[in-house]
Amino acid sequence: MKHFLFLFLDGVGLGDDDPQTNPFARAAMPALQNLLGGRRLVQGHAPLHTERATLLALDARLGVPGLPQSATGQATLINGKNVPAAIGGHYGPKPNPPVAEIVSQENLFKSLKKRGLSVAFLNAFPPGYFEAIASGRRLYGTIALGASRAGVPLRTLEDLEEGRAVSADFSGQGLRERLGLKRVPVISLSEAGRRLSRLAQEHNFSLFEYWLTDYAGHGQDLEAACRLLEEFDRALGALLADWDDEAGLILITSDHGNLEDMSTRRHTSNPVPGLIVGSPQLRLPFAEGLNDLTDIAPAVLKFFT
């Protein structure tokens, strides 16, 4: 059984190697640096092939004027179509009707399910999220919309409590502190990484959405961004330690730049990382021909042929 974990980081580009503006050039991230052969996740290091990983720089602009945005970038990632070009511009953060129509018609969740593969969206969502969606007070994000239209269930607090989902902040601390959900179990970042690995290896294709990176970029607090990345790195280290490179791939990528340039609250036009982890036999064929966001979905589908 082949496994593929799509680890989506919202709002992460490849920025300058400048610790005064780029938290990726400043934060202590030993797991990520080890994966990259001691290098940092910054401009100028892609393409890169190490013993365990391949790093590519992927174009998120897609030939469309303006700064890339979340809805169209994410739709492109899970659909394979140049969505900004199709609707006449970059759009976000939530999908408008044209983006929603494209994602509803076809997306990775749908395509892989049609092939009889096991597909999962591993994030846990709190009760208030489902209530807001049902009442119309909130719109699905692009990835959640794609999963929903494919009949892939969005996981709940019950799933989180029973170890079948992962909190958006990995530990669950944010759900307890910000939303007052005292029933949420708080786990270590390492345990969250191991859980992500275990759950992904129960399915053919899994996706986990880490949207806190985009929020941190808009917040423009460099030290807070570094703390966030260091937490991410601890979870990533445990995920990598538990992952079987011979059985599947991990893809870490994004929809647009943001966090890598804390001198602005806006998105950036920087390329985004395409970081692929796995054995060379699986990884190198997958990486071949990846140039921009439109190439991701076709490559995932080809991986399962």
The whole-chain average pLDDT of the chain stands at 97
Whether 217 contacts 262, CB under 8 Å: yes
Burial code (b: 16+ CB inside 10 Å, e: under 16) for 151-184 equals: ebebbbbebbeeebbbbbbbbbebbbeeeebeeb
User: Which range, of 25-29, 177-181, 250-254, 264-268, averages the lowest pLDDT?
Assistant: 177-181
The two structure tokens encoding residue 120: 């999962």
Q: What structural domains and CATH numbers belong to the chain?
A: 3-63+120-125+150-303 (3.40.720.10)
Mean pLDDT of 135-148: 97
- Which DSSP helix (H) or strand (E) runs through 231? helix 222-242
Say what the pLDDT of residue 1 is. 85
Using CB atoms within 10 Å of the CB of residue 201, give its burial: 0 to 12 exposed, 13 to 18 middle, 19+ buried: middle
* 66-103 residue pLDDT tens: 999 999 999 999 999 999 999 999 999 999 999 999 99
**pTM for the model:** 0.97
Distance, in Å, from the CA atom of 179 to the CA atom of 250, rounded to the nearest integer, reads 31
Task: Give tens-digit pLDDT for 230-253.
Answer: 999 999 999 999 999 999 999 999
What type of residue is 104?
S
Q: For residue 6, what pLDDT band results from cuts at 50, 70 and 90?
A: very high
Q: How many CB atoms are closer than 10 A to CB 195?
A: 23
